[in-house]
């Protein structure tokens, strides 16, 4: 009689399995050491396929080689696309319909405008007036943008660090908005279009990738709930005088791939 022993994963641990399919109840220090080494090895494999940092990923030399094998579905390159978000959940269809409706014109109505509508008009007017100015550096432009949207967005968290524990790289986002200590909006600013040769769009795509990795690692209830709903975020790209608002992102996890696949809807 021949009894074949094999090793298989069971409930996240490597265990012995006999030829009759029964799991061994035997536990030894050697097996515990092996499980620790296996967990470390799995982490190293994930780091092997880790994407560059956001600032490096924004450069053509950063995202172009990587996207051919591990694309973030953000239409760069063109085939890296997914289903429109409005087909995945009705809330996105409703948002798309509402987003296409113009705000009430303050000069064409005698009724008082809702506070947020009035704040949006004021912010838009300020942005059009100020963002075309010349700024000494990126920081000055970021501060000016903050001032323009006061009343519409009040709670910017500056230089927010995104650093998952199991990632080799980290990102520092210019501005984020937090709700229950969870990031719901990210903003990346660039001094002028063409300056530095980086794509702010690809940079914020990688920011979001790091954000989702942090959500996956988090044990906080708010983060877990947010991720269970797909971690939808607003991504705001400020490129000199140009502003891309907004991109909504939905996260889908794909096994066995270690990267997060993003489905994007550009407004």
Got the DSSP string for the chain? -----EEEEETTEEEEE-TTSPBP----HHHHHHHHHHHHHHHHHHHHTPPPPHHHHTSHHHHHHHHTTS--SSSSSTT-----GGGT-HHHHHHHHHHTSPPPPGGG-SSPPPHHHHHHHHHHHHHHHHTTS--SSHHHHHHHHHHHTTTT---EEEEEEE--TT-S--EEEEEEEEETTEEEEEEEEESSTTGGG--HHHHHHHHHHHHHHHHHH---HHHHHHHHTT--EEEEEEETTEEEEEEEEEEEE-SS-SSEEEEEEE-
Tens digits of pLDDT across the chain (267 residues): 444 444 455 555 555 554 444 444 445 556 677 667 666 666 665 555 678 889 988 888 888 877 666 667 777 887 877 777 777 678 778 877 877 777 777 666 667 777 888 888 899 899 999 999 999 999 999 999 999 999 888 789 999 999 998 888 899 999 999 999 999 999 999 999 877 788 998 999 899 989 988 998 899 999 999 988 888 888 999 999 888 876 666 655 544 334 444 555 555
Sequence-separated (6 or more) residues with CB below 8 Å from residue 7: 14, 15, 16, 17
Helix 60-67 and helix 200-217: axis angle, to 10°? 60
Q: Output phi, psi for 92, to 5 deg.
A: -75, -35
Closest CA to 209 of 240, 239, 168: 168
Task: Give this prediction's pTM.
Answer: 0.74
Q: Distance (Å, rounded) from C-alpha 145 to C-alpha 244?
A: 13
Amino acid 83: pLDDT: 72
Amino acid 60: pLDDT: 85
Amino acid 45: pLDDT: 59
69: left (phi over 0), alpha (psi -120 to 50) or beta: alpha
Amino acid 29: pLDDT: 56
Q: Distance (Å, rounded) from C-alpha 13 to C-alpha 54?
A: 34
Amino acid 117: pLDDT: 82
Closest CA to 238 of 211, 266, 209, 203: 203
Amino acid 183: pLDDT: 95
């Amino acid at each position: 009689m021949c009894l074949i022993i094999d090793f298989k994963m069971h409930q996240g641990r490597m265990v012995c399995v006999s030829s009759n399919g029964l799991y061994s109840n035997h536990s030894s220090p050697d097996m515990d050491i092996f499980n620790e080494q296996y967990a470390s090895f799995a982490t190293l494999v994930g780091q092997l396929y880790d994407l560059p940092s956001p600032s490096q990923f924004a450069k053509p030399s950063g995202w172009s080689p990587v996207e051919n094998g591990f694309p973030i579905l953000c239409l760069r390159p063109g085939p890296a696309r997914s289903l429109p978000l409005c087909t995945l959940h009705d809330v996105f269809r409703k948002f798309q319909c509402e987003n296409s409706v113009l705000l009430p014109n303050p000069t064409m109505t005698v009724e008082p405008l809702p506070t947020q509508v009035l704040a949006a008009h004021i912010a838009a007017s300020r942005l059009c007036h100020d963002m075309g100015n010349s700024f000494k550096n990126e920081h000055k432009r970021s501060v000016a943008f903050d001032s323009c949207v006061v009343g519409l967005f009040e709670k910017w968290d500056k230089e927010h660090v995104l650093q998952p524990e199991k990632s080799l790289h980290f990102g520092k986002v210019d501005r984020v908005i937090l709700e229950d200590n969870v990031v719901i909006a990210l903003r990346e600013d660039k001094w002028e279009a063409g300056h530095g040769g980086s794509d702010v769009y690809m940079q914020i795509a990688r920011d979001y990738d790091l954000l989702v990795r942090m959500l996956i690692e988090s044990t906080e209830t708010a983060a877990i709930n947010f991720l269970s709903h797909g971690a939808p975020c607003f991504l705001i790209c400020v490129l000199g005088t140009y502003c891309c608002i907004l991109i909504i992102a939905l996260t889908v996890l794909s096994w066995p791939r270690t990267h997060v696949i993003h489905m994007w809807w550009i407004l």
